[in-house]
Amino acid sequence: MSEAPKSNVSDSRREFLKTSSALAAGALVGGLTVPRSVHADSGSEVLRVGLIGCGGRGTGAAAQALDADPHAKLVAMGDAFDDRVKASRQSLSKRFGPKVDVDDAHCFTGFDNYKDVLGCDLDVVILATPPHFRPAHLKAAVEAGVHVFAEKPVAVDAPGVRSVMESAALAKKKGLSIVSGLCWRYDYGVRETISRLLDGAIGDIVSIQENYLAGPLWHRGNEASWSQMEYQLRNWLYFTWLSGDHNVEQHVHSLDKGQWLLGDIAPVAATGLGGRQVRTEEKWGHIFDHHAVIYEYPNNVRMHAYTRQQAGCFNQTEDFVFGTKGVCQVLKHEIAKPNGEVIWKYSGPKPSMYQVEHNELFQAIRANKPINNGHYMALSTMVAILGRMATYSGQRVTWDEAINSTVDLSPASYEWSDLKTPPVAMPGITKEV
């Protein structure tokens, strides 16, 4: 395990931080919320970025952060595994040269790596580990006074979601930004399409169909030297305590668009069917390979949500929205009459939504106008967990039962030890709340 957080902050920077926190404390006493000021890195305008979780997405997000601001600098990196940190650092250094200022002493590993990264006097941290760790990492980041980019989903169980809600509220009080990796909210075409629907372009929305029908994902094999804990972390997608199952890990993108369309309110309940038809080998852990969930909302509105990870089947990722006066396909950016005649199609610019997320985060920090996506990222994650609770248990699960659930999927301890794969959930037998 790692030692206590280290700090490499310079004396002048310390002085600056002391002054700004004293100012902030003063203002809070007066009942005001003061946004955290941009650090002055010994008089410069550098924004110090840390990365926790140096895999595919973390490395991509770090690149987008460095592209988003001319003075953003990557200064610390953490991952459970040394090989992942080093590979990520190498690829980022190759592309960004001196903007990647991370020597070996600022590469951290093990389960406590996040404490060490957050001890490096950051302005911004990117949280891109498997979702299980997000609630604890987000809490630590907000407590450390750091702006956050938090990949989706943000938890795997209800206690995790409740913790994220608390951290988001604290971030709001502290004037910190939290930008969520629910990236479709940063896609110009999706934004314009959904904003038209929310303005009534198809009348009242009565039903939504969310399809995330896709193929299987990667598997990273096994090695004799790996403990079961290491094996599960390296293949985290297939273990519910780490990923939440694919209804949470992947389908949350679609469920989030549905939630957005319905005003980011909690559903009343969910009923679902799911199972593991082709993912039968042990190497696929214990998650399902398909989920079909009916979410009930107030006023008899329904969201029908389908997701599949099976090879050789029909694939489609799309949001079909049905209103009293028309229909819409959100990812196609098309609004039509009930008979299908298209009456509007988005034709504006289409910058990368992944880049827009970071551009807006860094602009918010520079302008002292915090963005806080905490509400919808927590709610949409919980909607995805509710769906899994319904498919695993085979029961109709209410929102109140789900959000108040005390089922905590964390392992007994974080050690490189033997960790059994839980049994595959059996609808009708498995208890989820």
Ligand X SMILES: NC(=O)c1ccc[n+]([C@@H]2O[C@H](COP(=O)([O-])OP(=O)(O)OC[C@H]3O[C@@H](n4cnc5c(N)ncnc54)[C@H](O)[C@@H]3O)[C@@H](O)[C@H]2O)c1
Only segment of 96-104, 127-135, 192-200, 380-388 that touches ligand X (CB under 6 A): 127-135
Among 74, 77, 133, 321, binds ligand X (CB under 6 A): 133
Q: Does 221 bind ligand X (CB under 6 A)?
A: no
Q: Does 257 bind ligand X (CB under 6 A)?
A: no
Q: How far is the CB of 324 from ligand X (least distance, A)?
A: 32
**What's the CA angle centered on 377, arms 47 and 198, to 5 degrees?**
110
Task: Please report, as a single letter, which amino acid is at residue 266.
Answer: A
Q: Is 183 in the site for ligand X (CB under 6 A)?
A: yes
Pair 247, 293: CB distance under 8 Å: yes
**Residue 125 near residue 151 (C-beta atoms within 8 A):** no
Contact between 140 and ligand X (CB under 6 A)?
Answer: no
Is 131 a binder of ligand X (CB under 6 A)? yes
The reply on whether position 180 binds ligand X by CB under 6 A is no
136 and 162 Cβ atoms separated by less than 8 Å = no
How far apart are CB 59 and ligand X at their closest, in Å? 7
Q: How many helices (H) and strands (E) does the chain have?
A: 14, 15
Residue with smaller CB distance to ligand X, 261 or 353: 353
81 counts as binding ligand X under rule CB under 6 A = yes
* Strands of the sheet with 72-78, listed across from one edge: 107-108, 72-78, 47-52, 124-127, 147-150, 178-180
| Contact yes or no for 43/71 (Cβ under 8 A) | no
Of the candidate spans 123-131, 186-194, 306-314, 400-408, the one that interacts with ligand X by CB under 6 A turns out to be: 123-131
Residue 157 touches ligand X, criterion: CB under 6 A: no
In the complex with ligand X, the residue whose CB is nearer, 236 or 346, is: 236
Minimum distance from residue 11 beta carbon to ligand X (Å):
30
| Smallest distance, ligand X to C-beta of residue 229, A | 10
Angstrom distance (rounded) from CA 209 to CA 305: 6
Helix, strand or coil, per DSSP, at residue 373: coil
Q: Between 188-198 and 252-261, two packed helices, what is the crossing angle to 10 degrees?
A: 40
- Nearest of 150, 130, 91 to residue 358 by alpha carbon: 150
Q: Report, in Å, the least distance between residue 303 CB and ligand X.
A: 21
Q: Which is nearer to ligand X, 46 or 54 (CB)?
A: 54
The verdict on 119 binding ligand X (CB under 6 A) reads no
* CA gap 284, 373 in Å, rounded: 32
Options 6, 95, 111, 276; binder of ligand X; rule CB under 6 A: 111
The span of 129-137, 279-287, 289-297, 415-423 binding ligand X (CB under 6 A) equals 129-137
- Letters for 341-380 (x = contact with ligand X by CB under 6 A, - = none) are ----------------------------------------
DSSP codes of every residue in 316-370? EEEEEEEESS-EEETTTTEEE-TTS-EEEE--S----HHHHHHHHHHHHHHHT--
Residue 409 makes contact with ligand X by CB under 6 A: no
Q: Is 102 in the site for ligand X (CB under 6 A)?
A: no
DSSP 162-209: HHHHHHHHHHHHHT--EEES-GGGG-HHHHHHHHHHHTTBTBSEEEEE
Candidate segments 38-46, 122-130, 373-381, 388-396, binder of ligand X by CB under 6 A: 122-130
Q: Which residue in 123, 157, 249, 319 binds ligand X (CB under 6 A)? A: 249
In the list 35, 50, 58, 374, the residue contacting ligand X (rule: CB under 6 A) is 58
Looking at 46, 92, 201, 233, which residue binds ligand X (CB under 6 A)? 233
CB of 245 to ligand X, least distance (A): 12
Task: Identify the H or E element spanning 47.
Answer: strand 47-52
Cβ at position 234, least distance to ligand X in Å: 7
Q: Which of residues 3-32 bind ligand X (CB under 6 A)?
A: none
SS3 content of the chain, % helix, strand, coil (to 5): 40, 20, 40
Q: Please give the residue whose beta carbon sits closest to ligand X in the complex.
A: 55
DSSP SS3 for 398: strand
CB of 217 to ligand X, least distance (A): 9
Q: Is residue 214 a contact residue for ligand X (CB under 6 A)?
A: no
Q: Is 244 in the site for ligand X (CB under 6 A)?
A: no
Structure tokens at 236: 């985290």
C-alpha 404, offset from chain centre: 21
Strands 316-323 and 327-329: antiparallel
Q: Does 53 bind ligand X (CB under 6 A)?
A: yes
Residue 11: helix, strand or coil by DSSP?
A: helix
Residues that bind ligand X (CB under 6 A): 52-58, 78-81, 84, 111, 113, 128-131, 133, 151-152, 181, 183, 233, 249
